[in-house]
Structures are given as C-alpha cells and as structure tokens.
Amino acid sequence: MSVDGICKVVKMRANAVSNIGSLLKFVVSKLKKIKSQLLVCAHKTCLKQGGKSTRKELKRALKERELRECVLITKVDCLDQCGRGPVVVVYPDGVWYGGVDEKRARAIVEKHFDKAKDWKELKVLHDMQGEGKAK
Ligand code: FES
C-alpha cells in the first residue's frame, strides 16, 4: 500500500472514531432523559391475551403526553404471572399491573405518570414500592 493509501485509511479510521464519539454522546443524552421503564411481557400467554395491542397503546398514550422520551418500553420474557396478563411492570417504582388491555394501558400512562392522580385506584398485581430500599 502506498503512503497516500495508508493516509486515507488512517483518516477514515479517525473519522469513524469521531463518529463513534458523537454517537455515544447522542445515546448517553437519550439515556439520561429516561426516568421510567415499562416492562411489557411479550411471552405466549400475554400475547394471546392482547399484549401486542397493549404495547402499541402504551406507546401511543406516552407519545400523546410527550412522555415517549422519558419512559422506555421494553418487551420482556414471561414474568411468571401467566393468565393474569397482559402484564406490565413500572420500573423503578416496582408496580405490577395485570389484565392490561388497551383501556388499562392508557389509564396507567394517564394516572401512573401524573403525580396529581392516584394510580393506586388501578388494579395492581404487586406494589413493591420501597422493597429492597435501605431503611
Ligand atoms: S406469559 Fe406473561 S406473565 Fe407469563
């Protein structure tokens, strides 16, 4: 390889490293905005009970309330609550919701993420708030 060829390769790699740096900054800035995570069961039983529609409605409701950037939705494997689904867990709050159809998905977004409203009126499977915290 000629000296010019080597210089081209070095410049390309330097650009790639620079792009990785800006990509990392972008990803970190996005991650810093995330305040909560919704774990949505995407396993067999919950899917049969409408889990896919639940996830879509959660996305839609979060977008409408401009919460899409600060609440991450993650599909997860079975949460060991089969038959009580679709199951959604709000992290880090530790609140588990069962039977989350589209209507309940919207209610969770409207009530759980609005501090002025009482989400505890929604049917909850488990409320693990405070568990595991140092006393
Ligand atoms: S399939 Fe959803 S909890 Fe088991």
Q: Answer whether 88 contacts ligand 1 (Cβ < 6 A).
A: no
Of 35-39, 112-116, 120-124, the range with the highest mean pLDDT is 35-39
| Ligand 1 centroid distance, CA of 86 (Å) | 7
pLDDT at 133 over 60: no
Q: Answer whether 90 contacts ligand 1 (Cβ < 6 A).
A: no
**What phi, psi does 16 have (nearest 5°)?**
-60, -45
3-state secondary structure of 60: helix
- Nearest-angstrom CA–CA distance, 128 and 75: 20
User: Cis ω on the peptide bond leading into residue 92 (within 30° of 0)?
Assistant: yes
Model confidence at 11, pLDDT cuts 50, 70, 90, reads: confident
Q: Which residues pair with 21 in a beta bridge?
A: none
**What phi, psi does 86 have (nearest 5°)?**
-60, 140
* pLDDT at 2 (0 to 100): 77
pLDDT at 89 over 60: yes
pTM, 2 dp: 0.75
Q: Which of 14-28, 58-72, 91-105 has the lowest mean pLDDT?
A: 14-28
